[in-house]
Homo-oligomer: A and B are copies of this chain.
Amino acid sequence: MRRVLGVDSGGSGLRAALAEAGNPGKADTEVSREPVRTGAAGIEAGHLLDQLLPMVRTLLDRAGGGTVSAVAIGAAGMATLGGELRAELPAALASSLGVRRLALAADAVTAYAGALGQQPGAVVAAGTGMIALGTDLTDWHRADGWGHLLGDCGGGAWIGRAGLEAALRAHDGRRGGSAALLARMESVFGPAPELPGLLYPRADRPAVLASFAPEVARCAADGDEVAADVLARAAGHIAEAAAAVCPPADEMPEGCEVALTGGLFKLGDPLLVPLRAELAGQLPYARPVSAAGDPLAGALLLAAALATDTLRLPRHPALLYVPTEQDR
């Protein structure tokens, strides 16, 4: 039985899924809650393998044996911190699992494959951060995803930060403040003067900021105009990123699917209503769709495409690396 393995590595740990090559939608899954370490040389290949190989043996045992004919690994940071993975995993997976077909993908690419499969279009992946990825099946186009100080405009940390700024404006008596956001901020974090001391020493500052995004959505739903404006601006930024990566209208006579994936969209209507309006304005030929599957499903889909020689998504040295024989 030809089996394929999909892997999703991120801040909350490592997930692996095994399926038959002809039916990647039906998979068995193993989860490790230990995030793969990132060292000076980037994501650590040895730490990933130490966790992954026992998970694969468990999955194969449960499946009744067989071999893995293709693997696709999606990882947060793959594009910039995946050098060691690209250097070591081809040979390591060939010797340990006998796998000769491998794809190493940025998590945005597995999110894309999970959301839209191998169709051209655009995917916005948004949680604490925000990145848009699009393809016409010839090239990848990426927009934003620069992190909380340089961009991720409209993502969870951006929305939370803008909400906290509006709260502190109200505290100071500056223009642009919101008493409702100030009240929520004090309820969540305590008195305003203590907030800097709570936030700045933390290593997970973007997550702390993003934790306030649901409060901004709640205030907007309750009619606070400042909070609604924060979400309207976020919607504008998200649509700008989608518009920058979507294949142009003249290449997509039947329109173009734009999928929204990630935890940010759980904010619901306070974000989604202005976002649909912004997408209609900035990308009138695009159809917003729900993601068909998650990044792990996308990794499985990539692995199945490798196994069946049907990979259509464009290869890329950082975003979707598919080593050739001489790389092993």
Hey, which chain B residues are within 8 Å of A141, CB to CB? 173
Q: Does A68 contact B (CB under 8 A)?
A: no
| Stretch from A20-28, A96-104, A164-172, A299-307 contacting the other chain | A164-172
Contact in complex: B153, A165 (CB < 8 Å): yes
Contact in complex: B195, A150 (CB < 8 Å): yes
A263-322 residues with Cβ-Cβ distance < 8 A to B are 282
A141-190 residues with Cβ-Cβ distance < 8 A to B are 141-144, 146-151, 153, 161, 164-165, 168-169, 172-176
Hey, which chain B residues are within 8 Å of A200, CB to CB? 147, 149
A327 to B264, CA, bound (A): 52
Q: Does A66 contact B (CB under 8 A)?
A: no
Shortest A287–chain B CB gap in Å is 21
Contact in complex: A241, B168 (CB < 8 Å): no
Closest residue of chain B to A197 (Cβ to Cβ) is B80
Hey, which chain B residues are within 8 Å of A328, CB to CB? none
Besides A150-B165, A151-B165, A151-B169, 17 more A-B contacts (Cβ < 8 Å) are: A144-B168, A144-B172, A146-B168, A146-B195, A147-B199, A147-B200, A149-B209, A150-B168, A150-B199, A153-B165, A169-B240, A174-B241, A174-B243, A175-B240, A175-B244, A175-B282, A176-B240
16 A-B pairs within 8 Å (CB atoms) are namely A80-B196, A141-B173, A142-B172, A143-B174, A144-B172, A147-B196, A149-B199, A151-B169, A169-B240, A172-B241, A174-B243, A175-B240, A175-B243, A175-B244, A175-B282, A176-B240
Contact in complex: B164, A196 (CB < 8 Å): no
Partner of A161, one of B144, B150, B164, B176: B150
A151 to B197, CA, bound (A): 14
| Chain A contact residues, majority secondary structure | helix
Can you tell how many copies of this chain the complex includes?
A: 2
Q: Does A193 contact B (CB under 8 A)?
A: yes
Closest residue of chain B to A282 (Cβ to Cβ) is B175
Closest residue of chain B to A176 (Cβ to Cβ) is B240
Hey, which chain B residues are within 8 Å of A168, CB to CB? 144, 146, 150-151
Chain A residues proximal to chain B, CB less than 8 Å: 80, 141-144, 146-151, 153, 161, 164-165, 168-169, 172-176, 193, 195-197, 199-200, 205, 209, 240-241, 243-244, 282
Closest residue of chain B to A81 (Cβ to Cβ) is B197
Could you say which of A141, A148, A150, A241 has the most chain B C-beta atoms within 10 Å of its C-beta? A150
Partner of A172, one of B148, B161, B174, B244: B244
Contact in complex: A173, B205 (CB < 8 Å): no
Partner of A174, one of B161, B169, B205, B244: B244
Shortest A5–chain B CB gap in Å is 29
A197 to B200, CA, bound (A): 20
